[in-house]
Amino acid sequence: MNVSEAIRSRRSIGKVMQEEVPAASIEQILEAGTWAPNHRMTEPWRFFVLRGEGRDLLGNALAEVAVEQAGGPGSPEAEAAAESARQKPMRAPVVIAVAVTPKDHPKVIELEEYGAVFAAIQNMLLEAHALGLGAIWRTGEPTYHAKMNEHFGLGPNDKVLGFIYLGVPAEGQAPQGKRTPYQDLTVWVDRADALKK
């Protein structure tokens, strides 16, 4: 599969089988992430591969966030929310948590560190697709909660940026892709004053 084909045919695949994903495939996906562009070669990404009972690490963190968001422990709502959240990582046999660890240096712009990790995630999604695997990048408010840093042993300036749920795609067609034509979102600038009204 060439790059153009991979970019245009990749889709988020949320339904995967519980079939084991070979470690060699996971390693290939991780390595693809490390080839993302990163200013000043800071390599600000950190990967956590969760398999088997290791997925409980994420499940427990999600459960704690759910309890807090439901108003605290003790209520039936909080317990139900916690149990539902705890089961989410079990939807795939492998979950790769991806975090940013911005470098503390006067010439490093923190926002660029985030951009580098987002680029790493895209590389990983494309590599998974090229390997015939289904993957989806899951985020949401609990992803950025302080409890995630606590559970993943990250520092106060670090941040979990998402979870790649990975597995062999379940039966069925991948959803059709649709994008706004680039022409509708692009301005060609041929002279400096072209954008002046």
Whole-prediction pTM value?
0.95
Distances (CA, A) of 75 to 2, 88, 141: 53, 21, 21
What is the structure's pLDDT at 43?
98
What is the structure's pLDDT at 160?
98
Query: What domains are there in the chain, each with its CATH number?
Result: 3-172 (3.40.109.10)
What is the structure's pLDDT at 1?
84
Binding region: 10-12, 39, 137-139
Residue 67 has phi, psi (to 5 degrees) of: -65, -45
What is the structure's pLDDT at 72?
87
What is the structure's pLDDT at 29?
98
Give 51-98 pLDDT, tens digit per residue: 999 999 999 999 999 999 998 898 889 999 999 999 999 999 999 999
Q: Which residues of the chain have pLDDT under 50?
A: none
Binding region for FMN: 10-12, 39, 137-139
Q: Is the dihedral of CA 46, 55, 87, 65 positive or negative?
A: negative
**Residue whose C-alpha is closest to residue 45's, from 127, 101, 6, 85:** 101
